[in-house]
């Protein structure tokens, strides 16, 4: 059985502004880099065999920071791990979307990546990882929209929220009969520490 640790990238300026990022290549801001360093510190003592990451810079940079703390770990960029395509809403805030398209904007054809395409690429990646790394521990650095959807497919009766926190860690053990979620959306590494 293969274990997958999903990590969402650190925060960006667009995250803070409430702008839809999708496939737009927005970098981590200073706080996002610090968040990535904190999750890297958290999992430094854990044993992971390989890191896969989205090619988008906010995820790739998060993965690079994590990899710096792991001894001689393989690092693979996989385009299937990219964020859900947001069509023409990318770069806009909720207020801007409502002003332009009205409150029903979610029901309009605005070029969103179809749900079945998102799930197909995610499950294609999972199947390849299971074949390539049986019994291994695989870190996957990706995006909130993508990770949230994939978790709900991998653990269908878990009733997990899709709102995944920046640099949160979710650990799923892939099994033949039923996948097990051992940790969900955990951000304890971001808790302030008393000195």
11 assigned to a ligand binding site:
yes
53 assigned to a ligand binding site:
no
105 assigned to a ligand binding site:
no
Which residues does the annotation mark as catalytic? 9, 83
Sheet of 50-53: strands edge to edge?
74-77, 50-53, 137-142, 2-8, 169-174, 180-186
What are the DSSP calls for 4-15, one per residue?
Answer: EEEEEPPPBHHH
Output DSSP code: residue 71. T
101 assigned to a ligand binding site:
no
15 assigned to a ligand binding site:
yes
Q: Rounded distance, CA 177 to CA 62, Å?
A: 32
14 assigned to a ligand binding site:
yes
Task: Return binding residues for substrate.
Answer: 8-15, 58
Task: Return binding residues.
Answer: 8-15, 58
């Amino acid at each position: 059985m293969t274990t997958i640790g999903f990590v969402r990238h650190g925060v960006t300026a667009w995250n803070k502004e409430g702008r839809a990022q999708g496939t737009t290549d927005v970098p981590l801001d200073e706080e996002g880099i610090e968040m990535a360093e904190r999750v890297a510190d958290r999992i430094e003592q854990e044993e992971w065999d390989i890191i896969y990451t989205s090619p988008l810079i906010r995820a790739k940079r998060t993965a690079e920071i994590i990899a710096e703390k792991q001894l001689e770990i393989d690092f693979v960029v996989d385009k299937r791990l990219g964020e859900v395509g947001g069509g023409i809403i990318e770069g806009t805030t909720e207020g801007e979307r409502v002003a332009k398209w009205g409150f029903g904007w979610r029901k309009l054809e605005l070029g969103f990546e179809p749900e079945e395409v998102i799930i197909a690429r995610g499950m294609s990646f999972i199947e390849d990882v299971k074949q390539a790394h049986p019994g291994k521990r695989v870190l996957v650095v990706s995006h909130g929209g993508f990770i949230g959807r994939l978790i709900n497919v991998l653990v269908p009766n878990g009733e997990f929220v899709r709102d995944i926190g920046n640099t949160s860690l979710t650990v799923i053990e892939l099994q033949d009969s039923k996948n097990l979620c051992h940790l969900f959306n955990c951000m304890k590494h971001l808790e302030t520490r008393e000195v």
